[in-house]
Structure 1
Amino acid sequence: MNHFPQLTPIENKLKQIYQQSPKRSLQEPCDREDVMDVLLASYTITNDNNITKSLTTHIDEQTFILENMDISFVRHARYTPAFWHRHDFFEIIFVQNGTCTNYVLDRSIPMRTGDICIMAPDVTHSLSAFHDEDYIINILIRKSTFEQSFFGLLDSDTILSDFFKRTFYQTSEIPYLLFHSENDPVLTDLIERAYAECGQQKRYRKQMVNTLLSLFFINLFRRHEQHIEFSNIHLNSADENLMYILRYMQANFKTVSLKELSNLFNYSERQLQRIIQSATGHTFIENIQNQKMKLASELLIHSTLSVSEISERIGFQSLNNFRKIFFKYFNMTPSEYRRANI
């Protein structure tokens, strides 16, 4: 997809109406009913049933994702009026070329070439792309597939996993994540390959597309975790240090203290408490203990270390304190837990 296609007949019609009706401000968010005449005048020139399905304000998985697939790719038609809509699947908006604006409630999110926006299900939004050079790919992903690919990647990172789950599921605000990938060729190549694979009737097509998506998420985090722009759900302003704080806690949970974080990131301890609890839904201590208990349970099942050795290994100075907290989490002693799970 190095060559961006010319406008399709539908896009030409949409562009013509847009240019002839400047007072209608079709590039601004609106209700579908306000632009239904434009949509019908443009989209009825094709017999593509999938396109006409997209004119609804609520789109379910079955509208665009084939029954035997988990992921679908839809190229956004340039000059489509930016009407409000929502869907019950995850969506990745990828700007392969040009610019667009993603409107979410009262917020406008400008996006440029290489930007990747992950949208949670059931979030009302509208997309505005009104230039010939705009090339926007929408990647539609079933909830179950997204959870397996995205959260599966973070399974061992309890603190980060809690943060992202809270972002997408436990807030009534604006759940999205925006990555500025700076037109990363690795990510572009993976999307192009998955897009091409979706359009071919090959054996193992579904498995190949899902695998490419998993590789996409791995590279997105490996290469651009520090380039996330948050939706201000958790913080008063987008905080570029948040991912570093959570990562540092994750990597050093056995020994890290709030005072150490305060000195390292130049926040007061009170500020850090607020940032961490807003981001993850847990206090600093709860995050650290959650991670320690997760590791303790794994070591009890998969190692022959004694309870006291495990307590020491995960950073407890007091064996009694370890036993007390473990019982609080699992309602059994470490020894009882080991016997019950082996």
Structure 2
Amino acid sequence: MNHSFNKVLQLSDQEEKKRIDRSLDELMEDEYQLNDNMRKLIEGQQYVFPSLNQDHATPDMLIRTQDTISAKKHHFSTTPYFHRHDFIEMVYVYKGLCYQYIESQDQLMILNEGELFILNQNVLHALYQPNPEDIIIKMIIPPRYLGFEFGERQEFQDSILDFLTKSVMKRSLSYHYLHFRTASNPLIRTFVERLVTEYYQKPNYFEDAMCCYLKLLFIELSRSNSILNSVHFDIKTKRLQHDQLLNYVRENMQTITLDQLANEFSYNKCYLSRLISEEFGESFQKIVREIRMEEVETLIRYTNLSIEQIADRVGYKNAVIIYKMIREKYNMTPSEFRKNR
């Protein structure tokens, strides 16, 4: 490490320590999207900052906001916690290693020295620096800074171009993150150093200079396709999978299980169960019950099938549960329901 950049890192460490040591209400108001409940807890001094154990989305899940580009040294005392961003974040391991959790503690990626990780907006994650001597550089890039026409004259589409295109689309069909093994590429290290230096020295046109270095960094990554880690994720957003998931349950209601659903949609079973509860506000079992109930009502209304046949059609071993469901919902028997409806 050259002497001048070491001074820049020391300055970054000092500034980040000041930022972290601010009062909780000032820090939260300045850096996060706050809802009414969070504001009330903060004002009453009852708000508790989340920990790494809180790895599931809630209405109070922290969303970091920033509308300017930056490049800083991650401070070791920063509490690791699960959160989302309204910006793109790049993490470069300048020295040592760090842990990147994606979506839950079950999905851990270890980033080693010289590796670069690009994370899109809205991805639930947590960053943990295990050793104080590690040097982790975090670069924050609001989407508007990607307005430069990178790759406009290229006749090919690679992972970087694909990422940038989807990053700036407000209604993108996917979000993803890229993991590059760049330890053997000195240019990547140089561009990261320049980004941090420009940010802290702030000479004239430093933001324009940072965008230029960022562009050069992306170009270098694009040229060096061989350094892209084999783990290249492109994950559909949870919201866009609602209809797909519900349709799959409807089509397979006779035999559907959580294991089957997790396998179909490539999720960890426990994570999918929690995800369904968060996204739908109901458990998997309740969703299956409601879908079966819809089909039961339709079959009672429009067919002459017996209740036993309907039970078999929707996946119940006997008709008792149908009698119970109709009674609970309509306070009548299935035959009365058929007659009245």
TM-score where L is the length of structure 2: 0.48
Larger Rg belongs to: 2
